């Protein structure tokens, strides 16, 4: 399974009637819109396929029980860190799309 890359988008745009330079501009505008949505911590909907949904993770304390020293020597040492508020995105496939393409039962 391979990823859909910029060249695939450009080929699709040119097949729909855009010139190569117009297709590149359309791709750049689309990516800029996705970048702005991620930067603003908003959800992003991809047509009828699915959506990226932001989820804010609460800050939490992490305890590590070992320290790796020089030469890879491991010694026991308790260290605590505070992970601040984090943002992760989760992919949600729309059920109608999944059923239509036999991706979900």
pLDDT at 76 (0 to 100): 85
pLDDT at 21 (0 to 100): 96
CB neighbours of residue 23 within 10 Å: 20
pLDDT at 93 (0 to 100): 92
Q: Which of 55, 18, 89 is closest to 30 using CA atoms?
A: 18
- Please tell me the pTM assigned to this model: 0.71
Return the structure tokens found at 7.
């060249």
Q: ∠20-44-1 over CA atoms, to 5°?
A: 65
- Give, in order, the Cα–Cα distances in Å from 17 to each of 7, 46, 51: 16, 21, 27
């Amino acid at each position: 399974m391979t990823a859909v890359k910029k060249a695939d988008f450009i080929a699709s745009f040119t097949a729909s009637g855009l010139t190569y330079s117009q297709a590149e501009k359309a791709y750049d505008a689309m990516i800029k819109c996705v970048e702005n949505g991620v930067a603003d911590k908003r959800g992003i909907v991809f047509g009828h396929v699915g959506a990226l949904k932001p989820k804010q993770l609460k800050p939490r304390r992490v305890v590590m029980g070992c320290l790796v020293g020089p030469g890879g020597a491991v010694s026991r040492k308790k260290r605590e860190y505070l992970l601040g508020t984090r943002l992760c995105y989760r992919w949600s496939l729309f059920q109608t799309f999944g059923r239509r393409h036999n991706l979900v039962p």
